[in-house]
Structure 1
Amino acid sequence: MPQRLSLLLTTVSLGLLPTVTLAQQSQQTSTGLTLTTDSVTVDVQFYSPDIVRVFKQPKGHSKNKQSLVVVLAPAPGKLRYGKQGNLLTVSSATTQARLNPQTGQVSFFTSKGQPLVSELAAGLRFTPKTDLGEPTYQVRQTFRLTPGEAIYGLGQHQDGWLNYRGHKTRLRQQNLDIAVPVLHSSKGYGLFWDNYSSTQFTDDDKGTTFDSEVGDCADYYLLNGQGSADGVVARYRTLTGQAPLFPRWTLGFWQSKERYKSQQELLEVVEKYRSLGVPLDGIVQDWQYWGEDNDYWNSTEFGNPRFPDPKGMVDKVHALHAHQIISVWPSFGNKTKVFQELKQRNMLYDFITWPPTHHVQVYDAFNPAARDLYWSYLNKNIFALGMDGWWLDATEPDQIHPLSSDDENQTALGSFRRVRNAFPLLTTTGVYQHQRQTTTDKRVFILTRSAFAGQQRNATMTWSGDVQSSWDVLAKQLPAALNLSLAGVPYWNSDIGGFFPNGQYPKGVKDPAFQELFTRWQQFAAFTPMMRAHGEATPREIYQFGERGTWAFDSQEKYINLRYRLLPYLYSIMWGVTHAAGTLMRALPMDFPQDPKVADLGSEYLFGPAFLVRPVTESQYVTRADKNVLGTTDFTKTKTTDVYLPAGASWVDFWTGRRQTGGQTVSRETPIDVLPLYVRAGSVLPLAPRQQYTGEKDGAPLEIRVYPGANGEFTLYEDENDTYNYEKGAYATIRMRWDDKARQLTFDSRAGSFPGMQAARTFRVVLVDEQHGTGLGQDDAPAKEVKYAGQKTTIKL
């Protein structure tokens, strides 16, 4: 039985009876401590030694809450209880919570007594309100941060900030903005605010506040990363779910546009890439494959006569060694079969959505039966064709009218106002779980426009929405992506060139000014989790920009080829995301927390452990007098871009092999086909041969580049590339270790195996300097050939 403690606070005058009797109660529990003050009940629950939940309700209220996000059950390990002055304490091996028995204020410390974060003494506010006639509250909790502390995360926002100190942002799902209420501190802790309504986040001189529109409780989790940014992300994933592995082919190049209007057009694109010898792995079919009448919107059926043989189309794509995904929405036209069945079962909302007509309505993704029905149509009409993945569009969902009465809709979990931010989590949950139940032979891949905490467990790749085609927007994609990663959501991409070119580039692909923007955006995209060309109004296929030998074509082809050379590196890191809660797009504070110059540097980042990427985000070679006039190109003078090399490492220019020390800003020449790209000294980088699609040359030797200047290592991961057999242990790893002083590279014994694994293979090891192993590389670069049969092998370079 829990031990019950009663604290009786009295004021006593000498020789007189007590004049004040204010009773506060605390109770030790198996997972923490419960405290009742005169106004609030506070539960502190340890889910692990590093993860602590704080759950507060007004005194006398006892509503249970089932989190939509959290998948972890409390397992605190051994806890210690005590007092610190007049404060109650409960501690794990790594984390201590201190509670003020009079106010209910909670503060967190490390096991050594170092402060992490504290609530303000008067930082909690429950403001009574009604929601669909039911009593509830607007809930606000304010925290006190330390001076100089940087804060990141909160999802994806288009404001251009990396560090949110001194800023505010609204956490509400919409096209371009993704609400993930996870705050990530430079002190190595995180806070997850477990509320699903629109929330105002503010950091100012009054504190750091989450202010949510609806809530019966204040509910948040402290994530003690023990001083490490990776530790914060790992605790978040432990709490909310790990990210499953995508199929390897998704790392290749993707071609898309709004939209391919026929089966023939789509197939001709794939065939053209193959005939040109430009690599391609993914093709996307956008909307209206169902027809052009909005009453049949998103029927999930190929009702458009221009798609006469959808299964034949998918089969042909596969025969060309490519893959296809298709656009599906959470809304349905009133003449579709799925609409009629959902309406009959009262599973539709009535707010205005896109396209803006009352004949199109959104389904209730919070209803498990509605998710079942949704999948039944996707399965029989689309997945059964052999389709390889899903483009779940408008998963906010997209409300077209700001005064729409969407909040007043009833969902299976209460008002839409109460749960709106969790809509993308629930709709992707339905597709992910149902496909997993349908087959284990094809990994789930979901491209989606919105996300919420926990959504990484649904095999989702988020994109940044219908962004404008402009240099300013391109620059803002970097901090937007990095903050989503810092919030724990690992997979992100954007429409190469921006979705809407019309405002800036009405002549589209024919305008050299748009070509320059597209070229630089594509260079950036080569170093994001998904490299995907997409947009409206103008075609985006590489051959639309000119022929081979023209600058726009050649630069694009160069970076597509580079992407395919990086496949072993990328797939191994993707395994690290799944296996070790890793992060692919890494804001520089993650790896260089002691360098104050990177705390708010959102213009560059690490891509995995090896690459420092500094995209060019301004026009350098094309000028225009007017947006309606084609730009003028001038390559006579090579321009430059400033790059900060973080302190604490040496950096090797990927293109030249030149090594430079960290802690300085360098001016890097940036001809139109050069992205400033540096490799951390000590990196071991596996590269594949050039190929037209993933898997084309799996038996060929891998090039292993070693960048001297520090010790380093890399673990090469391999499996069947699709299926979920890796979850049963069907995979293999080879750890490669570089000893810089001894000039030795060691291939450790292979760990694990899988069906079809190459028992023996060849590695071509290149020691990088200014003459060897630079840029895309040459197959005839001086190399030491290693025949590897799975046993430990060491070579000297």
Structure 2
Amino acid sequence: MKKLLAFLCICMQLVPLWGQAVSRISNGVKVEAGTVCVELECFSPSIIRVKKYPSGKIPEKHSLSVVKRPENVKYKLQEKDNRITLITSELSVSLDIAKDQVCFTDKDGKVLLAEKPSSVGFTPFDDAGMSTYKVRQSFRLDADEAIYGLGQHQQGRMNQRNQTMVMRQVNMEIYIPLIHSVKGYALFWDNYSATTFTDNEQGMTFESEVGDLCDYYFVYGGGADGVVAGLRDLTGQAPMFPLWSFGFNQSRERYVSQDELVGVVKKYRDLQIPLDGIVQDWRYWGEDHADWNAIEFRNPLFPNPKKMLDEVHSLNAHAMISVWPSFGPATNPYKDFERHNKLMSHETFPQNSGVKVYDAYDPVARDIYWKHLNEQMFSIGMDSWWLDATEPEHNPIKEEDYDYQTYLGSFRKVRNAFPLVSVGGVYDHQRTVASDKRVFILTRSAFAGQQRYGAQSWSGDVVAAWDVLRNQISAALNFSLSGIPYWNSDIGGFYTANHFPGGVKNPAYQELYVRWMQFSVFTGMMRSHGTNTPREIFQFGNRGDWAFDAQEKMINLRYRLLPYIYSASWDVTSKGGSLMRALFSDFPTDKKVLDLGDEYMFGKSILVAPVTSTSRSRSLYLPEGTRWIDFWTGEMQDGGREITRNAPIDIIPLYVKVGSIIPVGPSVQYATEKPWNNLQIRIYPGADGEFILYEDEGDNYNYEKGKYTTIRMTWNDRKKQFTIYPCEGGYDGMLQERNFRITLVDGQDGLGLDNESQTVNVVYKGKKLNIKLL
């Protein structure tokens, strides 16, 4: 009792310090320093929230991105030399009161990040009649400090230093006010209004149009994986996608009838080309703009949508439907939203057609949105959602449109978070009505925390061009480093007409398309889509034609790698991992990879170097600290040097890190056609290695209840011993016995996936096995 009373006295104590007021608050400290009040709050030993606001005005704020609640963190407070220091087991955070400067250091005293002195700014601002501020804060970065993140951008930058960026969501640009430093920390600026990011010789600054306070989170991870895991801890974990979604998905703008859509699936089956998803783009609702996005099959060429979906399912495929957040005035959703006063004021695409966006910030509006999705689509068997234009699209933009009062304040105040709340509404509602079908959402925009909603983004309506293809790589990696693990792009680029007249019949376009498809094998979703020309594989010719054969090879490669990809996805869900990995994530001491934005790791074993030109060779860098084995030939290469790899049209340069263990699945026509009871296990010798094979029921949420299995595998390189550990976990229908074909990749032969010249076959029944490989 005495200890409790003493603690309460400390918590309530106001300590005068140099004319200031310092008080302990829950999980931190509050300092009233002149005209500004500063709060430092521990969310964990490695996550600190910093709030600053004008004294006497304590703002209330519920974060849209942050879902973590502060932990009961053990910390110490020190007061010395006009400085308050909060110390956890991982960090020290100090506030120099005279300079109004917060500084973050690690437990060894190394400075990680510091604010510029007296650089917080609150400029009074009238936001549609509400008195608030334009807010800013500046920071000091090391001169050679590389930073990443900020969302997804198309300028081809990897390192995001030395630029100015006006962050307002638009097609092809996803703005997330978050930087990820090579020093092992992230800073998330928790503001949803348009924000200008600036980095120059004077410092790095976030300046937002609207804010009642300066509010940011400092996340320390020690390295890229730790940072990303911390961001997930802060903003939400990524659930598992259905296994089928990692297969090949076909789309175009657009299938004009249900017969055409089903016919495409049948054609793939007839050709024995693997396929798991078919996508219906717009105008299934009809051609009149007044019917825009009716979320109904009003188009007479879709007379029986349930039959269409039943036929797709009977062919062992899945369907995705395009839905927008905007509605034409003749649609039932529009009328429903209007009746409840839930339509925003501005018009959007198509221009001058009366189409308006719903107020996704309002829970009632999200209920209405889902009601129509559920009644018209989900109830008849639709498998997944393509939530297009979630920026949302704004055409034309007028400043007064931002005055519109959403459920959470002016549109100006919450503009950039629209995709987060709109996508989140669909996820939350589907989870309440079904547990046997995982939510799978494809969306054009995103904001911090969106990974928790079963969504992955694509890069928007990009143009078919070689430089655009190259820029997709750094765009994807920076997006991943912003904390959102799944990303993809339209294979071949959305627009083709200006660059490649003739489309699929143009050999120049065929080459670009094949190279883009090779890249897409190693992204979150392998998805063909675009306008101006159809994209199905049979549009490119027949077997024996190079463009056809190269695509078939890549689609089959994707399916053979599904055990590796799905296990990597479990690492994303269970450990806050990343699928597309910037090279510095795995090789932080190699200075040459810090600004390398055209190659990456896919999972923790495979280095991917996409071909992004018409050349038949590719220069690439193999990071130091390990050796590398050519995926296609088995040839060993030393790291720490640049090499040139021949790249004929059917080859994408791939290198596997020594010590890797890669499971290879069967040849299939769809992801779940065959159980994984006969897997090839490829061992890449040269270092010790470990892999965890993950399996579950594929398309429900039983894994959240512990219904899944993991099988740990290790390779001892010195002893040449491969060990398979006892199977952990279980679920209904799990395999009780399987055959593992263990292949040692030693560079002696050509090593395509079917080469098993040095293979040991073992029967695994869930018990530990030790296998000696000579």
TM-score range, shorter chain: over 0.9
Cross-structure match for 1:318: 313
Does 2:374 correspond to 1:379? yes
Q: Is the 8 A contact 2:496 2:532 kept in 1?
A: yes
Q: Deviations over 1:610-649 (max 9, x none)?
A: 10000011123xxxxxxxxxxxxxxxxxx32101000011
Note the residue ranges of structure 1 that are not aligned, 5 or more in a row: 10-22, 621-638
Return the match for 2:86 from 68, 86, 90.
90
How far apart, CA to CA, are the structure 1 residues paired with 2:344 and 2:125?
A: 23
Q: Deviations over 1:115-148 (max 9, x none)?
A: 1111110221111110011111111110111121
Q: Is the 8 A contact 2:329 2:335 kept in 1?
A: yes
Amino acid at match of 2:640: G
Q: Is the 8 A contact 2:337 2:358 kept in 1?
A: yes
Does 2:639 correspond to 1:662? yes
Q: Is the 8 A contact 1:36 1:104 kept in 2?
A: no
Cross-structure match for 1:247: 242
Cross-structure match for 1:15: none
Return the match for 2:45 from 46, 49, 66.
49
Which structure 2 residues correspond to residues 53-452 of structure 1 after superposition, within 5 A?
53-225=49-221, 227-403=222-398, 405-452=400-447
Cross-structure match for 1:540: 535
Cross-structure match for 1:29: 25
How far apart, CA to CA, are the structure 1 residues paired with 2:721 and 2:165?
A: 50
SS in 2 for 1:371: helix
Deviates more, 1:693-702 or 1:231-240: 693-702
Cross-structure match for 2:15: 6
How far apart, CA to CA, are the structure 1 residues paired with 2:644 and 2:92?
A: 47
Q: Is the 8 A contact 2:148 2:179 kept in 1?
A: yes
Cross-structure match for 1:718: 695
Deviates more, 1:599-608 or 1:504-513: 504-513
Cross-structure match for 1:796: 772
SS in 2 for 1:450: coil
Residues 404 and 40 (structure 1), Cα distance of their counterparts in 2 relative to 1, 3 Å cut: closer
Amino acid at match of 2:404: N
How far apart, CA to CA, are the structure 2 residues paired with 1:140 and 1:272?
A: 56
SS in 1 for 2:568: helix
Q: Deviations over 1:700-738 (max 9, x none)?
A: 410000000011110000010011000000000000000
Q: Is the 8 A contact 2:392 2:419 kept in 1?
A: yes
Residues 264 and 142 (structure 1), Cα distance of their counterparts in 2 relative to 1, 3 Å cut: same
Deviation, 1:103, is 3.7
Q: Is the 8 A contact 2:134 2:210 kept in 1?
A: yes
Amino acid at match of 1:663: G
Q: Deviations over 1:65-115 (max 9, x none)?
A: 111111111114211111353311111111111011234321111122111
How far apart, CA to CA, are the structure 2 residues paired with 1:576 and 1:88?
A: 39
Q: Deviations over 1:353-406 (max 9, x none)?
A: 111124110000000000001100100100001111000000000112244643
How far apart, CA to CA, are the structure 2 residues paired with 1:6 and 1:783?
A: 72
Q: Deviations over 1:227-267 (max 9, x none)?
A: 21111001110010000000000000010000000000001
Cross-structure match for 1:627: none
SS in 1 for 2:229: helix
SS in 2 for 1:532: strand
Does 2:726 correspond to 1:749? yes
How far apart, CA to CA, are the structure 2 residues paired with 1:72 and 1:108?
A: 21
How far apart, CA to CA, are the structure 1 residues paired with 2:204 and 2:100?
A: 18
Does 2:724 correspond to 1:786? no
How far apart, CA to CA, are the structure 1 residues paired with 2:240 and 2:375?
A: 25
SS in 1 for 2:345: coil
Does 2:574 correspond to 1:579? yes
Cross-structure match for 2:449: 454
How far apart, CA to CA, are the structure 1 residues paired with 2:401 and 2:323?
A: 21
Amino acid at match of 1:783: T
- TM normalised by structure 1 equals 0.95
Residues 715 and 81 (structure 1), Cα distance of their counterparts in 2 relative to 1, 3 Å cut: same
Q: Deviations over 1:716-762 (max 9, x none)?
A: 00010011000000000000000000001100111100100011110
How far apart, CA to CA, are the structure 2 residues paired with 1:130 and 1:561?
A: 58
Cross-structure match for 1:524: 519
How far apart, CA to CA, are the structure 2 residues paired with 1:368 and 1:352?
A: 21
SS in 2 for 1:362: strand
SS in 2 for 1:180: strand
Q: Is the 8 A contact 1:41 1:57 kept in 2?
A: yes
Amino acid at match of 2:520: A
Does 2:619 correspond to 1:642? yes
Does 2:669 correspond to 1:686? no
Amino acid at match of 1:241: G
Q: Is the 8 A contact 1:569 1:716 kept in 2?
A: yes
Q: Is the 8 A contact 1:81 1:90 kept in 2?
A: yes
How far apart, CA to CA, are the structure 2 residues paired with 1:509 and 1:170?
A: 37
Return the match for 2:654 from 655, 658, 677.
677
Q: Is the 8 A contact 1:24 1:102 kept in 2?
A: no
How far apart, CA to CA, are the structure 2 residues paired with 1:675 and 1:716?
A: 25
Q: Is the 8 A contact 1:429 1:458 kept in 2?
A: yes
Amino acid at match of 2:649: I
SS in 1 for 2:118: strand
Q: Is the 8 A contact 2:154 2:472 kept in 1?
A: yes
Deviates more, 1:502-511 or 1:456-465: 502-511
SS in 1 for 2:581: strand
Amino acid at match of 2:53: Q
Cross-structure match for 1:696: 673
Superposition CA RMSD, Å: 1.1
Cross-structure match for 1:483: 478
Return the match for 2:613 from 613, 618, 631.
618
Deviates more, 1:470-479 or 1:98-107: 98-107
Residues 775 and 403 (structure 1), Cα distance of their counterparts in 2 relative to 1, 3 Å cut: farther
Amino acid at match of 1:758: L
How far apart, CA to CA, are the structure 2 residues paired with 1:197 and 1:8?
A: 36
Q: Is the 8 A contact 2:100 2:118 kept in 1?
A: no
Residues 76 and 700 (structure 1), Cα distance of their counterparts in 2 relative to 1, 3 Å cut: closer
How far apart, CA to CA, are the structure 2 residues paired with 1:279 and 1:777?
A: 17
How far apart, CA to CA, are the structure 1 residues paired with 2:610 and 2:292?
A: 39
SS in 2 for 1:351: strand
Q: Is the 8 A contact 2:195 2:209 kept in 1?
A: yes
Which structure 2 residues correspond to residues 582-621 of structure 1 after superposition, within 5 A?
582-620=577-615
Does 2:563 correspond to 1:557? no
SS in 1 for 2:116: strand
- TM normalised by structure 2 equals 0.98
How far apart, CA to CA, are the structure 1 residues paired with 2:256 and 2:659?
A: 49
Q: Share of identical aligned residues, percent?
A: 54
